[in-house]
């Protein structure tokens, strides 16, 4: 059984901090939201570790937006819908591509240093895009440039309080209303309560569920798990995108090799040195990510190899160093000169298309609670995200959710002095003798073996049964962030498996060996709520 709260607490004994708006997370979605919220009231931003510890910091490729004269909203819209494999919400996609252009103009005014070709902003192409529309900065350091600029703007706001090393454990709710969060202050080693008129979850994804991932260590699905425990609807969690190309070297992390590398002309080769992508898709190396990841997986299986190779050697050496300085230096530090050497690559868990179900204004089914960015699911990516639409989503929907939170609080001021939320006094067992780190290792092994690029009922059912056995560790008393993270990972892993078992077809990033074709019966979203599950056909978003 999944408990409502992970720890016991007595609100009367805990330090309470009050604010107008509470933002959890410091990636692009949280930063853009905070920047806009600070115009309307006091904002408190909480980060699990330091502000730079987020997926935005690792984003290399860029931001997709309609800038070029030969491009159009309609083309970007159609590319996104096609990549989404029938499950992208048309209204959400329309808002994304049309409002994205204005968000880019705002970034330029803030001073984001996008790379240039002459006086014009440079554009590149990535998989499944019909035009060159990807803006990038620092060659392959777009996320770092974006986060640095936005963070500087946010910190200049007098209405902002930034608290680092604060781990949000649970949402505080009553009568379908969110009043704030229970958190653990790693610096003070104490529990604290943050109360707010409106709470935003912008906590990123859950790539750490897998052994190989492009995500930072903080991506443990915390926002999804704590929302689910509070009765918030979650959606589309079976759709986990695997990036086709991450560095594969013994002893090295799965460093992301941007899709822009293939966009600039790099090719994929198998162990025999043969190009193979055109066997799997007419776009070759620029096939959609789900297709490319499966193709690499299948090629590795067919050749009994543990990687394939990305070949940039036909590109000019000076161009490689200038266009991809981060990748060049990272590979060089591992003994690879990518101007001369092939890069060994494998797919790795990269992005959650699913998450907390919201409308196109970021509202959830719990009053006062909002979500945006990778932790949210509004259908904008469907079953498979189009490359470089993630940072764009953070820009567009970060602003939209801020506007909605401001409107919401105009009519819903909380009287915190009269707030009464029942204390939690569940009977927890003493901390388990077994190291919870071994549970984390097992979760990663199970998810990698049976719930990754290709799945089937036998393996999924086995994993579901084992995760249910591990639920007993949700009822042990822990008091460290790393332990809480593993409890959250257990819950999110279970939700991913549950949704993957329900969807008896293959679509986008979800591929079932026992149901290898898409089915018109599954043009629907799987929505899960604690103690309840159902499917919704033709979801309506506002």
Give the tens place of pLDDT for each residue, 293-338.
Answer: 999 999 999 989 999 999 999 999 999 999 999 999 999 999 999 9
Domain ranges (residues) in the chain: 13-239+353-418, 246-349, 436-522
Q: How far apart are CA 22 and CA 41, in angstroms?
A: 11
Mean pLDDT computed over 353-382: 97
Give the pLDDT score at 324: 93
pLDDT at residue 58 tops 80? no
Give the pLDDT score at 519: 96
Question: Can you state the angle between helices 481-502 and 457-470, rounded to 10 degrees?
Answer: 150
pLDDT at residue 480 tops 50? yes
Structure confidence at residue 417 as a pLDDT band (50, 70, 90): low
Give the pLDDT score at 254: 86
Mean pLDDT computed over 147-176: 93
Mean pLDDT computed over 92-99: 97
Round the average pLDDT of the chain to a whole number and report it: 92
Cα 57–Cα 377–Cα 297 angle in degrees, nearest 5? 70
Q: How far apart are CA 371 and CA 201, in angstroms?
A: 5
Question: Can you state the angle between helices 90-110 and 390-410, rounded to 10 degrees?
Answer: 90
Query: What are the structure tokens assigned to 221, written together?
Result: 């699905």
Give the pLDDT score at 436: 76
In tens, the pLDDT along 426-449 reads 767 666 556 778 999 999 999 999
503 is catalytic: no
Q: What architecture is the 13-239+353-418 domain classified under in CATH?
A: 3-Layer(bba) Sandwich (3.50)
pLDDT at residue 412 tops 90? no
Give the active site residue among 229, 289, 385, 507.
289
Q: How far apart are CA 284 and CA 471, in angstroms?
A: 43
Give the pLDDT score at 127: 87
Mean pLDDT computed over 28-40: 95
pLDDT at residue 542 tops 50? no
Lowest mean pLDDT among 117-126, 156-165, 525-534: 525-534
The residue count of the chain comes to: 542
Q: How far apart are CA 269 and CA 274, in angstroms?
A: 5
Residue with the larger pLDDT of the pair 537 and 219: 219
Give the pLDDT score at 514: 97
In tens, the pLDDT along 366-377 reads 999 999 999 999
Percent of the chain whose predicted confidence (pLDDT) is above 90: 80
Query: What are the structure tokens assigned to 393, written together?
Result: 């989503």
Q: Are 145 and 137 in contact (CB under 8 A)?
A: yes
The third-level CATH classification (topology) of the domain covering 436-522 is Methane Monooxygenase Hydroxylase; Chain G, domain 1 (1.20.58)
3-class secondary-structure state, position 94: helix
Mean pLDDT computed over 501-518: 97
Mean pLDDT computed over 263-275: 94
Give the pLDDT score at 48: 94
Give the pLDDT score at 332: 95
In tens, the pLDDT along 191-208 reads 999 999 999 999 999 999
Query: What are the structure tokens assigned to 111, written together?
Result: 């001073």
Contacts of 513 (CB under 8 A, 6+ apart): 454, 455, 456
Scored b (16 or more CB within 10 A) or e, 90-105 reads: ebbbbbbbebbbebbe
**DSSP one-letter code for 10:** -
* CATH code of domain 246-349: 3.90.700.10
Mean pLDDT computed over 196-222: 96
Mean pLDDT computed over 380-396: 96
Give the pLDDT score at 73: 97
Pick from 496, 459, 228: which is nearest to 352 by CA? 496
pLDDT at residue 56 tops 80? no
Paired strand residues for 21: 43, 198
């Amino acid at each position: 059984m999944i408990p409502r709260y992970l720890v016991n607490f007595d609100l009367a004994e805990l330090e309470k901090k009050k604010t107008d708006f509470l933002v959890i997370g410091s990636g692009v979605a949280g930063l853009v939201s905070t920047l806009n919220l600070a115009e309307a009231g006091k904002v408190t931003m909480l980060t699990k570790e330091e502000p730079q510890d987020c997926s935005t910091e690792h984003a290399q490729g860029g931001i997709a937006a309609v800038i070029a004269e030969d491009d159009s909203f309609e083309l970007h819209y159609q590319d996104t819908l096609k990549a989404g494999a029938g499950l992208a919400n048309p209204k959400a996609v329309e808002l994304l591509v049309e409002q994205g252009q204005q968000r880019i103009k705002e970034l330029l005014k803030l001073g984001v240093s996008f790379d240039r070709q002459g006086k014009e902003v440079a554009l590149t192409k990535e998989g499944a895009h019909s035009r060159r529309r990807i803006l990038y900065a620092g060659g392959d350091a777009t996320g770092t440039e974006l986060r640095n600029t936005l963070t500087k703007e946010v910190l200049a706001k007098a209405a902002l309080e930034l608290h680092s090393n604060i781990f949000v454990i649970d949402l505080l709710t009553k009568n379908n209303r969110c009043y704030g969060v229970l958190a653990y202050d790693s610096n003070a080693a104490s529990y604290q309560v943050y109360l707010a008129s409106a709470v935003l979850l912008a906590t990123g994804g859950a790539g750490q569920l897998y052994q190989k991932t492009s995500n930072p260590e903080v991506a443990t699905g915390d926002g999804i798990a704590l929302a689910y425990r509070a009765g918030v609807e979650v959606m589309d969690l079976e759709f986990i995108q695997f990036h086709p190309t991450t560095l594969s070297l013994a002893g090295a992390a799965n460093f992301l090799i941007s899709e822009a590398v293939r966009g600039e002309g790099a090719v994929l080769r198998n162990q025999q040195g043969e190009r193979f992508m055109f066997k799997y898709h007419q776009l070759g190396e620029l096939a959609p990510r789900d297709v490319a990841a499966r193709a690499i997986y299948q090629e590795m299986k067919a050749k009994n190899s543990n990687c394939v190779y990305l070949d940039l050697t036909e590109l000019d050496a000076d161009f490689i160093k200038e266009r991809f300085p981060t990748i060049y230096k990272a590979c060089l530090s591992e003994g690879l000169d990518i101007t001369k050497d092939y890069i060994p690559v494998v797919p790795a868990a990269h992005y959650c298309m699913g998450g907390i179900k919201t409308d196109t204004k970021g509202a959830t089914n719990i009053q006062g609670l909002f979500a945006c960015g990778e932790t949210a699911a509004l259908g904008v990516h469907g079953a498979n995200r189009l490359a470089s639409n993630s940072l764009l989503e953070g820009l567009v929907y970060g602003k939209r959710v801020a506007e909605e939170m401001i409107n919401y609080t105009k009519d819903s001021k909380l009287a915190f002095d009269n707030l009464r939320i029942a204390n939690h006094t569940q009977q927890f067992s003493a901390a388990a003798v077994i190291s919870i780190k071994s549970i984390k290792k097992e979760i990663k092994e199970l998810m990698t073996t049976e719930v990754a690029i290709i799945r089937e009922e036998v393996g999924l059912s086995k994993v579901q049964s084992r995760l249910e056995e591990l639920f007993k560790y949700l009822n042990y008393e822990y008091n460290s962030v790393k332990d809480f993270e593993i409890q959250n990972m257990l819950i999110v892993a279970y939700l991913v498996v549950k949704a993957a078992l329900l969807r008896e077809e293959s679509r986008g990033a979800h591929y079932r060996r026992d149901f290898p074709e898409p089915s018109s019966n599954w043009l629907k979203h799987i929505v899960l709520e604690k103690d309840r599950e159902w499917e919704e056909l033709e979801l309506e978003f506002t």
